[in-house]
Amino acid sequence: MATVRKLDALDDVIHQKVRLGVMSSLMASGEADFNFLKGALGVSDGNLSTHLTVLEDHGYIIVHKEFVGKKPRTTYTPTLAGRRAFELYVTALESLVRAG
Amino acid sequence: MATVRKLDALDDVIHQKVRLGVMSSLMASGEADFNFLKGALGVSDGNLSTHLTVLEDHGYIIVHKEFVGKKPRTTYTPTLAGRRAFELYVTALESLVRAG
């Protein structure tokens, strides 16, 4: 595949570093809550929220809100579309960095 | 390695898509000229110039200008520092996307 098409195949929704971290975490763990992601990625509440909203708006993750006792807990899971987009991204990236 | 440290290890100079395309091309071919990169990456003169300057300013590529007959030709080669930065980037990225 030509380099230009490999670059186009690098989904901008996933390529952004915080979102790449979120998707990598969710692919590895299946689900994660807000505080786990915040600690794992070392980002502020606002920054994480912004990027989670982008992923949700693109249908890559599902948000689940519940109460554990009286404390709210928000968890995130990747959708099938999100998993597929992540796999395509990784394939395109590996192809790009290995062969230019 | 924690996810936050893996994200920090993703060199921003290389992570940007056009620069990632340039570095991938140069790693694969050893050198390339401006017009080849422009066609390979599908970007404008101005956009490519901007990103080549960033890579040069960070010491990741060397610019070589010559005349072929009366036509100027500008070629780019990765430096040792650029090659090392690229390898570190790829290693960090693979670690991130495989294990979150």
Sheet holding A32-33, edge to edge: A32-33, A71-78, A61-68
Instruction: Indicate whether A5 pLDDT > 80.
Output: no
Taking only the tens place, the pLDDT of each residue in B42-58 is 999 999 999 999 999 99
Nearest CB among A2, A10, A29 relative to B40 is that of A2
Overall domain count for chain A: 1
Ramachandran angles phi, psi of A60, nearest 5°: -90, -25
Taking only the tens place, the pLDDT of each residue in A29-81 is 999 999 999 999 999 999 999 999 999 999 999 999 999 899 999 999 999 99
Confidence of residue A99 (pLDDT cuts 50, 70, 90): confident
Q: What is the CATH number for A47?
A: 1.10.10.10
Instruction: Indicate whether A98 pLDDT > 90.
Output: no
Confidence of residue A8 (pLDDT cuts 50, 70, 90): confident
Instruction: Indicate whether A10 pLDDT > 70.
Output: yes
- Name the DSSP class of A74: E
Percent of chain B predicted with pLDDT > 90: 80
Which residues from B are below 8 Å from A2, CB to CB? Answer: 40
Cβ–Cβ < 8 Å for B19, A7? no
pLDDT on residue A33: 95
Confidence of residue B23 (pLDDT cuts 50, 70, 90): very high
CB contact under 8 A, B40 and A99: no
Residues B1-33 as b or e (16 or more Cβ within 10 Å = b)? eebeebbeebbebbbbbbbbbbbbbbbebeebe
Helix (H, G, I), strand (E, B) or coil at B100: coil
- The pTM score is 0.88
- Rounded Cα–Cα distance for residues A42 and A52 (Å): 14
Which residues from A are below 8 Å from B39, CB to CB? Answer: 4
Cβ–Cβ < 8 Å for A9, A88? yes
Question: Is the minimum CB–CB distance between A51 and chain B shorter than 8 Å?
Answer: no
Which residues from A are below 8 Å from B9, CB to CB? Answer: none
Q: Where are the alpha helices (DSSP H) in chain A?
A: 3-8, 12-15, 17-29, 34-41, 45-57, 80-99
Residue B42's alpha-carbon distances to A50, A59, B27, B46, in angstroms, are 30, 28, 18, 12
pLDDT on residue B9: 83
Residue B10 domain boundaries: 3-99
What number of C-beta contacts closer than 8 Å exist between A and B?
87
